[in-house]
């Protein structure tokens, strides 16, 4: 299955968003997530199944103006 993660294609077999974050070694408590442009809250990551071609955003705090 191929996913578009933060703008880059990645091959993965993770079945849920939660698994994917684990697999990629993200610190789950320090990022926020969206699937296909829609916010997925922390407590819904385990319930959010992934399928081929989905676009994910995984973001973290940064400087801003």
Closer CB to another protein, residue 29 or residue 51? 29
**Cα–Cα distance list, 33 to 38, 46 (Å):** 8, 12
Residue 9's beta-bridge partner residues? Answer: 4
9/52 Cα distance (integer angstroms): 11
Using rule CB under 8 A, residue 61 touches another protein: yes
Q: Binders of another protein among 11-50, rule CB under 8 A? A: 24-27, 30-34, 37-39, 41-42
Binding site for another protein (CB under 8 A): 4, 6-7, 24-27, 30-34, 37-39, 41-42, 55, 57-65
């Amino acid at each position: 299955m191929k996913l578009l993660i933060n703008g880059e294609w990645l091959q993965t077999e993770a079945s849920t968003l939660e698994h994917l974050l684990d697999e990629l070694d993200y610190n789950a408590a320090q990022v926020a997530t969206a699937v296909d442009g829609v916010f997925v809250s922390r407590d819904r990551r385990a319930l959010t199944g992934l399928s081929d071609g989905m676009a994910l955003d995984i973001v973290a705090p940064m400087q801003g103006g």
